[in-house]
Amino acid sequence: MNLQHITKSIIVIFGATGDLAKRKLFPSLFNLYKSGRLTPEGFAVVGLARRDWKDDTLRDVVKHSIDDSENEEIINEFCSHFYYQPFDITEDQSYIMLNELLERLEYNYSIPGNRLFYMSVSPQFFGEIASSLKEYKLTQSNGWKRVIIEKPFGRNASTAEQLNDEIRQAFSEDEIYRIDHYLGKEMVQNIEVIRFANSIFEPLWNNQFIANVQITLSETLGVEDRGGYYDKSGAMRDMVQNHVMQIVSLLAMEPPIRLTPEEIREEKVKVLKALKPISRNEISDYFIRAQYSPGWIDGEEVTGYRSEKNVSPNTKTETYVAGKLLIENHRWKGVPFYLRTGKRMSSKSTKVVIEFKDLPLNLYSNVERKRVSNLLIINIQPDEGITIILNGKKMDIASKTKPVSLEYSNKIGSISNKPEAYERLIYSCIIGVATNFAHSDEVMLSWNYVDLILSAWENNETPLFEYQAGSMGPKAAEKMLAKEGFCWWPI
């Protein structure tokens, strides 16, 4: 079977009138279309939601979601592949009509029954949709069937387990694609290449040479119009349980035997299994939570978290988390993996800093730990690339050193053709490659780890710190590293 036959498919989007569809899904599908990975002969998109739209209403929205510098003829041709059906998740008739529509489109576009269901609705509906898809035989076409699930994947281990059970009524594990859009980012995918394709790093990638690892996911945005969701979620559920844990597994895993989804996942799972459990009374030594107070971002005054729209004025939800993970295996025993993430911080940046150990005897006495160290920085966004910071000789002054930085940046290449994370992930799902999606084992292990911390926070067993909007977080996060002789490397 050739690739074109496999990629011929119908993409069914539950929640097609939502923000994600407009911001990410439609532009990503357009890029796939433009690059020929979705062919005019073999794809259709069905949008579903409660609103009483027509095909043309959806097509109009799709058109406006695409950069208008693109060729209008191509945009119009692309939009003509979109169909809309008003949909009530609880109504039998909606599923019956959907099946008829899919059969008709499959006939018209000669699509061999390949169906991708994209759940971009609130998770409370996933189970009901999955079981109705099965009941009304929408999952019994002749081709492949797959489902993409948006986060949040549960609120804790038990709700995630329940969600798994519900979805598995209609889809097997290898048909379930749990999206973590960080796994679609170029430089996150590049972590494996940097580690496993370069002999200069891998021999040093262990506790003999690495002092600590720092992972920062900082955002300048606040909660925008997502206060209702965010206030029930918080930074731990929103960013750490998924994105940060995935980055940690990629950084810490052993080389897989082969680059297959199964082998890679197996190694990532081992990392999560090796996380040193913490006890309830040690939580504040390992994790810090905080909330932003009013401040300034890019010269503009912004409110504190408690005054945001749809956020309770007495909320204790954290908008910032800093933490320390220890991985108890031969490679990593003793190396702290520090993480921090927050809203309304001073910059939007995702970076991994690998700090190498000092030489046992450094002959250049002015090499100050605080000023420079041997660092490998993986710049995930907004810049993409790597930076290595070394000690070099200061010109003209004997025996004095200064930090020199070697940079590789993707900016040098073509940035205009840069594929979106969602574009990569949707295409991977269409061709059936699940490597960059979260397997249920990873999701469960990660929930198991953070559940205890979340429950202690919900009981207010540890302090909730404040940080000013526009800063890099509370002082407590600096102290956490300082007491171990480290500092957060500037980003």
> Rule CB under 6 A: which residues touch ligand BG6?
181, 219, 238, 350
Please answer whether residues 234 and 317 qualify as being in contact, where contact means their C-beta atoms are separated by less than 8 angstroms: yes
The DSSP code sequence of 305-336 is: GGGSTTS-TT----SEEEEEEEB-STTTTT-E
Comparison of 42 and 184: residue with beta carbon closer to ligand BG6: 184
Each as own residue / partner, the long-range contacts of residues 130-134 (CB below 8 Å, 24 or more positions apart, any chain) are 130/166, 130/167, 130/169, 130/170, 130/171, 131/166, 131/169, 131/170, 132/89, 132/92, 132/95, 133/95, 133/170, 134/169, 134/170
Comparison of 54 and 232: residue with beta carbon closer to ligand BG6: 232
Question: How far apart, in whole angstroms, are the C-alpha atoms of residue 340 and residue 24?
Answer: 25
Question: How far apart, in whole angstroms, are the C-alpha atoms of residue 75 and residue 33?
Answer: 10
Smallest separation (angstroms) from ligand BG6 to the CB of 381 = 6
Sequence length of the chain is: 491
Residue 286 amino acid letter: Y
Comparison of 336 and 470: residue with beta carbon closer to ligand BG6: 470
Quote the tokens at residue 233. Answer: 């979620």
Comparison of 327 and 429: residue with beta carbon closer to ligand BG6: 429
Please answer whether residues 210 and 357 qualify as being in contact, where contact means their C-beta atoms are separated by less than 8 angstroms: yes
Q: Residue 365 in 3-state DSSP?
A: coil
Query: Helices (DSSP H) in 369-439: which residue ranges?
Result: 421-430
Residue with tokens 């494996």: 192
Question: How far apart, in whole angstroms, are the C-alpha atoms of residue 135 and residue 311?
Answer: 39
Comparison of 284 and 349: residue with beta carbon closer to ligand BG6: 349
Q: Phi and psi (nearest 5°) for 194?
A: -55, -45
Please answer whether residues 420 and 31 qualify as being in contact, where contact means their C-beta atoms are separated by less than 8 angstroms: yes
Comparison of 348 and 475: residue with beta carbon closer to ligand BG6: 348
Comparison of 234 and 256: residue with beta carbon closer to ligand BG6: 234
Quote the tokens at residue 448. Answer: 């198991």
Active site residue: 81, 243, 330, 439, which one? 243
What is the C-alpha radius of gyration for the chain, rounded to an integer number of angstroms?
Answer: 24
Smallest separation (angstroms) from ligand BG6 to the CB of 181 = 6
Quote the tokens at residue 414. Answer: 């073509």
Quote the tokens at residue 346. Answer: 């001073």
Smallest separation (angstroms) from ligand BG6 to the CB of 180 = 8
Residue with tokens 């190498």: 356
Quote the tokens at residue 319. Answer: 């908008």
Please answer whether residues 166 and 360 qualify as being in contact, where contact means their C-beta atoms are separated by less than 8 angstroms: no
Comparison of 219 and 383: residue with beta carbon closer to ligand BG6: 219
Smallest separation (angstroms) from ligand BG6 to the CB of 219 = 5
How many alpha carbons lie under 13 Å from residue 358 in its C-beta half-sphere? 15
Question: How far apart, in whole angstroms, are the C-alpha atoms of residue 115 and residue 11?
Answer: 6
Q: Residue 287 in 3-state DSSP?
A: strand
Comparison of 283 and 469: residue with beta carbon closer to ligand BG6: 469
Smallest separation (angstroms) from ligand BG6 to the CB of 178 = 12
The CA–CA distances, whole Å, from 364 to 159, 164, 208, 210, 349 equal 55, 57, 22, 20, 33
Smallest separation (angstroms) from ligand BG6 to the CB of 354 = 20
Smallest separation (angstroms) from ligand BG6 to the CB of 192 = 19
What residue is closest to ligand BG6 based on CB?
238
Smallest separation (angstroms) from ligand BG6 to the CB of 247 = 11
Smallest separation (angstroms) from ligand BG6 to the CB of 225 = 12
Question: How far apart, in whole angstroms, are the C-alpha atoms of residue 491 and residue 488?
Answer: 9
> Is 81 designated active site?
no
Residue numbers annotated as active site: 243
